[in-house]
Every structure is written in structure tokens, then in C-alpha cells.
């Protein structure tokens, strides 16, 4: 990827935009870009510098992202709508070509890292409520005021506000190689990409084992009670990032949107989509925060594709899809017969959300019922029946307070899940 058209290799101390920004350390990367912590010598603040790959298609995507982020910033002068702020943008020429660069406000770790820090045990419900409020405020602003669909909402693309004052501690924990490559070696010789891929695979296995009730039954197993501590005493706030795939609701351009596990059924069926696809992904994200597991982790199997598995998992959790909706998409015939039954997965084992939360995740009856009442309408098979972000912000669940006594108690998702897989 570090060739012509690809990533720009950065060394610590490299100047950008005529010396205004100085690279400090790598924060992350995506398919299209690497993101660096940089010092803005003009404002004396730390910023995130997103450096796009240079090939034409990546440059075009970056221009689109800049356009979207600019409208977001224009409509929110006080920067209070829970969406990342674009500060500046410019072009940078390097050995691999010309790279579009975005200067963004510097944020903290992603919710995915938060879930990992909590060892996939889920985050305390009261914190989940605070995080959900932020995401919903961001979505309400995008959907209602701007008519923008994010199309790739997921824990990775929601970042916490850095709770560490970056001016005091800009280089936080961790290794800072002088030249870090996304797919290459690090100082300690390990391959970053391999480690991440392994982690992702492990995570996907867990989630599959968990929700895939068609193949799984309940198991026992105990692990010492442990609660999420890393957010103790912190006012939790976050912002939505990564507008590389965002689109205007009145001109959707891609047919296949969203990351697989967060993809709404109307996208799989090609029935057309709108802002409500983000509400589906939001519900999947909230579930993952609260349980540590992906809500749906589809996998192809003998005689069925991952799309079919996905539809089956969704129905096992939410009930049968109404026939009209099932057969209403351009792709419906690939999956459903004319009665609205899946062609290749005939036996579904239903496990409703509130029961799953109690039986699998050991939620108290009341926590489970309340959380399921919050999530289920967002997972309506009819996209137009899903509550909007604005309506969702009014939901009583967001202002409930759990004692914390009954949640997060000694669940053993991994053990139970893996055992079920072997049965
Ligand atoms: P891509 O479009 O290539 O997926 P993203 O915008 O998702 O790029 O950024 C890639 C990663 O960089 C994120 O997952 C996150 O870890 C990090 N990152 C992005 N924006 C910021 C920011 N404003 N502050 C801190 N880290 C960021
Ligand atoms: Mg991303």
C-alpha cells in the first residue's frame, strides 16, 4: 500500500501544509487513509491529520468527505452536535503522489477499543445510555437538519472525547515507531495487521457462537464477576467520525452500504434505503456496547450464503419478516420463496431479544425488558416505522438509572459461546 497511488509514509516530525502541522504519532488507519496526531503550530493545539491514499478514486472520495464535513461544520458553528469537526484541508505531495489531507479535531479512542478494554463483557448500562444520547444527537443533526445518511455507523467509527488533556500528555501509552506501516512490521517485530486480523476473527467467532441460536443451545459456565472499570467516574461523551461513505438522503449512490454486521435488511434485499438504515446500525451498536458481542455476526455455511445467514439471524431474534417486506426487494428472489420463507435455511430457532438478554447475558428481568423495548422498534423490518433519532431521544430508557447490581455479573459469553459451537 506504500506505493504510487497508496498511503503516504510519515515520519515523526514531518511538516505539513508549509510547516503548520507537525506529525507526532499514528492514531489509526482505514482502507483509504492513515490518521496521525499532529501539532498545529498556528493554534498551538493537537489535531488529527487524515492523509488519504493518492490514487484518483481515493482523492475523489476525500473530496466528497471534505464536502460532507464542511456542511456539517457550517451548520454547527458551536461544535456541539456530536460530530467530528473539520478544521482544515490541503494537498500534500510525496513520493507516492498527491494526497488530500483533512485536519480534524483530535478525539480519543473508539468505542471498539472501549469494548476491547472491557474484555468484551459489555459496558455498564448507565454509561451505555450516555453514549447512546451522544450518538443520537449526532444522528438527529445529520438526518433532520442536513439530510445526510452516515451509512457506516459502528463502534469503530464513534470516538470518545479524549479524557486526557492532549497538551499535557500527547504521546499516550504505547509504542511509537518512527515509521509505522499499516500492513508492515512494528518495532517489536510483530505484524500489526496480523494481530488485528486475529483479534477480529476471534471476536467474530465469539459473536457467531453467541447469537447463532439455530446451531446453539444454552450452556452454563461461570467466571468471576467483573465490571467495566475504565469509564468509572468519567463523563462519557463521544462523536461520530468517518464520513467517507456518507451520502445525501435524496441521492444515495451506492447499493451496498454499511459494514456487514451493522447492515439493515432492506440493504441486503435491495429494497431502497433512507436515514433509518443508520437507526438499525445504531441499535446494533448499542447492543454491542451493553453486551460486548456483536448483535449479528453472519457467516456462510453449507448450502447458504452470509446474506442468508444474516436474514435468518435477524428473524431468529426479531421474529419472522412480514411476507410483503421479505419478497419486496430486487434481491428477494435470491433468498425467499413466494411464501416469504427462506429458501435454504428452513428451520429457525427463535430467541427474542429480552429473553436473550436475561438468559445469555444475565441481565435482570427489568433491565432486559427496558433495553429490549428501547431497541426493538429501531429494528423494525419496515424502515419507515423505525423511530427517528429525534423520537428516539425522547425514549424513557435514556433517562432510566440502573443500580448496577444486576448487570454485568459474571457472564461468560466466550466460554458459553464456544461450548455451544461444539455441541
Ligand atoms: P477511513 O475512512 O480510512 O476508515 P477513519 O476516518 O475511519 O478513516 O479513521 C481511521 C482511524 O483513525 C479511526 O478508526 C480512528 O482510530 C482514527 N481517527 C480518525 N479520526 C480521528 C480523530 N479525529 N481523532 C483521533 N483519531 C482519529
Ligand atoms: Mg473508518
What digits encode the pLDDT tens for the residues 355-386?
999 999 999 999 999 999 999 999 999 999 99
Q: Which residue has the higher pLDDT, 272 or 419?
A: 272
> What would the pLDDT profile of 78-117 be if each residue is shown by its tens digit?
999 999 999 999 999 999 999 999 999 999 999 999 998 8
pLDDT at residue 162, as a whole number? 56
Query: Are the beta carbons of 261 and 251 closer than 8 angstroms?
Result: no
Q: Which residue has the higher pLDDT, 226 or 23?
A: 23
Ligand 2 centroid, distance to 157 Cα (angstroms): 6
Q: How confident is the model at residue 253 (pLDDT cuts 50, 70, 90)?
A: confident
Inter-axis angle of helices 276-291 and 365-375, nearest 10: 160
Q: How confident is the model at residue 127 (pLDDT cuts 50, 70, 90)?
A: very high
**Verdict on whether the full-model pTM lies above 0.80:** yes
Q: How confident is the model at residue 163 (pLDDT cuts 50, 70, 90)?
A: low
Ligand 2 centroid, distance to 302 Cα (angstroms): 32
Task: Over range 18-42, report the average pLDDT.
Answer: 95
Q: How confident is the model at residue 191 (pLDDT cuts 50, 70, 90)?
A: very low
Pocket around ligand 1: residues whose beta carbon is below 6 Å from it? 27-33, 35, 48, 50, 84, 104-107, 110, 156-157, 159, 241-242, 244
Active-site residue flag, 152: yes
- Report d(CA 287, CA 51) in Å as an integer: 32
- Could you give the 3-state DSSP secondary structure of residue 199? helix
Report which protein residue has its CA nearest ligand 1's atom 4. 30
Q: Which residue has the higher pLDDT, 144 or 253?
A: 144
- Report d(CA 390, CA 369) in Å as an integer: 22
Report which protein residue has its CA nearest ligand 1's atom 19. 35
Report which protein residue has its CA nearest ligand 1's atom 10. 29
Q: How confident is the model at residue 52 (pLDDT cuts 50, 70, 90)?
A: very high
Ligand 1 centroid, distance to 292 Cα (angstroms): 21
* 1-5, 23-27, 256-260, 264-268, range with the lowest pLDDT: 1-5
Ligand 1 centroid, distance to 46 Cα (angstroms): 15
Ion ligand 2: residues, CB < 5 A:
30, 242
Return phi, psi of residue 149, to 5°: -100, 130
Over the chain, what is the mean pLDDT?
83
**Residue 13 clears pLDDT 80, i.e. is over it:** yes
pLDDT at residue 236, as a whole number? 81
Inter-axis angle of helices 276-291 and 125-140, nearest 10: 160
Catalytic residue among 40, 109, 140, 152: 152
Of all ligands present, the nearest one to the C-alpha of 28 is 1
- Report d(CA 111, CA 132) in Å as an integer: 11
**Residue 199 clears pLDDT 50, i.e. is over it:** no
- Which atom number of ligand 1 is nearest to the Cα of residue 84? 23
Q: How confident is the model at residue 168 (pLDDT cuts 50, 70, 90)?
A: low
Query: Are the beta carbons of 111 and 237 closer than 8 angstroms?
Result: no
> Looking at 192-279, which runs of residues are DSSP E strands?
238-240, 247-248
Of 242, 245, 258, 262, which is best to mutate to test ligand 1, by the most ligand atoms within 8 angstroms of its C-beta?
242
Alpha-carbon Rg of the chain, whole angstroms? 22
> What would the pLDDT profile of 289-320 be if each residue is shown by its tens digit?
999 999 999 999 999 999 999 999 999 999 99
**Residue 201 clears pLDDT 90, i.e. is over it:** no
Report which protein residue has its CA nearest ligand 1's atom 1. 30
CA atoms within 13 A on the CB side of 224: 1
**Residue 183 clears pLDDT 60, i.e. is over it:** no
> What would the pLDDT profile of 223-244 be if each residue is shown by its tens digit?
222 333 345 555 989 999 999 9
- Report d(CA 205, CA 217) in Å as an integer: 16
In Å, the largest CA–CA distance within the chain is 65
Residue 383: DSSP 8-state: G
Residue 233: DSSP 8-state: T
Of all ligands present, the nearest one to the C-alpha of 35 is 1
Report which protein residue has its CA nearest ligand 1's atom 12. 28
> What would the pLDDT profile of 390-405 be if each residue is shown by its tens digit?
999 999 999 999 875 4
Q: Which residue has the higher pLDDT, 18 or 422?
A: 18
pLDDT at residue 120, as a whole number? 82
* 93-107, 162-176, 206-220, range with the lowest pLDDT: 206-220
- Which atom number of ligand 1 is nearest to the Cα of residue 113? 16
Ligand 2 centroid, distance to 421 Cα (angstroms): 31
Whether 201 has a binding-site annotation, put simply, is no
pLDDT at residue 119, as a whole number? 81
- Which atom number of ligand 1 is nearest to the Cα of residue 106? 24
pLDDT at residue 227, as a whole number? 30
- Which atom number of ligand 1 is nearest to the Cα of residue 35? 12
Number of Cβ atoms within 10 Å of the Cβ of 44: 8
Tell me which residue of 114, 82, 127 sits closest to 398, measured CA to CA.
127
Contacts for 168 with CB less than 8 Å, ≥ 6 apart: none
Amino acid at each position: 500500500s506504500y506505493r504510487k497511488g497508496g498511503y503516504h509514509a510519515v515520519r515523526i516530525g514531518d511538516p505539513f501544509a508549509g510547516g503548520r502541522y507537525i506529525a507526532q504519532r499514528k492514531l489509526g488507519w482505514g482502507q483509504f487513509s492513515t490518521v496521525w496526531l499532529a501539532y498545529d503550530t498556528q493554534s498551538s493545539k493537537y489535531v488529527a491529520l487524515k492523509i488519504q491514499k493518492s490514487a484518483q478514486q481515493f482523492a475523489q472520495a476525500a473530496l466528497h468527505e471534505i464536502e460532507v464535513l464542511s456542511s456539517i461544520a457550517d451548520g454547527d458553528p458551536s461544535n456541539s452536535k456530536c460530530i467530528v469537526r473539520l478544521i482544515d484541508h490541503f494537498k500534500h505531495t510525496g513520493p507516492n503522489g498527491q494526497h488530500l489531507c483533512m485536519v480534524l479535531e483530535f478525539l480519543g479512542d473508539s468505542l471498539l477499543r472501549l469494548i476491547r478494554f472491557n474484555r468484551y463483557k459489555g459496558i455498564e448500562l448507565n454509561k451505555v445510555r450516555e453514549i447512546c444520547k451522544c450518538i443520537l444527537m449526532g444522528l438527529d443533526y445529520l438526518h433532520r437538519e442536513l439530510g445526510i445518511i452516515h451509512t457506516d455507523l459502528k463502534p469503530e467509527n464513534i470516538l470518545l472525547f479524549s479524557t486526557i488533556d492532549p497538551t499535557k500528555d500527547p504521546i499516550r501509552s504505547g509504542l511509537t515507531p518512527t515509521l509505522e506501516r499499516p500492513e508492515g512490521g512494528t518495532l517489536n517485530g510483530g505484524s500489526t495487521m496480523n494481530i488485528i486480523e486475529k483479534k477480529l476473527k476471534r471476536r467474530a467467532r465469539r459473536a457467531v457462537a453467541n447469537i447463532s441460536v439455530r446451531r446453539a443451545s444454552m450452556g452454563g459456565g461461570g467466571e468471576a464477576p467483573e465490571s467495566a472499570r475504565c469509564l468509572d467516574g468519567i463523563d462519557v461523551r463521544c462523536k461520530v467520525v468517518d464520513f467517507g461513505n456518507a451520502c445525501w438522503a435524496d441521492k444515495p449512490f451506492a447499493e451496498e452500504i454499511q459494514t456487514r454486521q451493522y447492515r439493515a435488511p432492506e440493504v441486503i434485499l435491495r429494497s431502497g434505503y433512507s436515514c433509518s438504515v443508520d437507526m438499525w446500525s445504531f441499535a446494533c451498536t448499542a447492543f454491542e456496547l451493553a453486551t460486548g458481542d456483536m448483535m449479528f455476526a453472519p457467516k456462510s455455511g453449507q448450502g447458504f450464503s452470509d446474506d442468508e445467514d444474516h436474514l435468518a439471524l435477524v428473524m431468529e431474534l426479531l421474529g419472522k419478516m412480514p411476507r410483503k417486506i421479505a419478497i419486496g426487494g430486487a434481491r428477494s428472489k435470491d433468498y425467499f420463496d413466494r411464501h416469504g420463507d427462506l429458501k435454504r435455511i428452513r428451520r429457525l430457532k427463535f430467541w427474542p431479544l429480552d429473553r436473550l438478554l436475561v438468559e445469555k447475558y444475565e441481565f435482570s428481568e427489568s433491565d432486559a425488558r427496558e433495553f429490549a423495548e428501547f431497541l426493538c422498534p429501531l429494528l423494525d423490518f419496515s424502515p419507515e416505522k423505525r423511530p427517528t433519532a429525534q423520537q428516539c431521544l425522547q425514549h424513557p430508557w435514556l433517562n432510566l438509572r440502573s443500580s448496577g447490581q444486576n448487570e454485568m455479573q459474571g457472564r461468560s459469553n466466550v466460554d458459553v459461546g464456544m461450548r455451544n459451537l461444539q455441541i
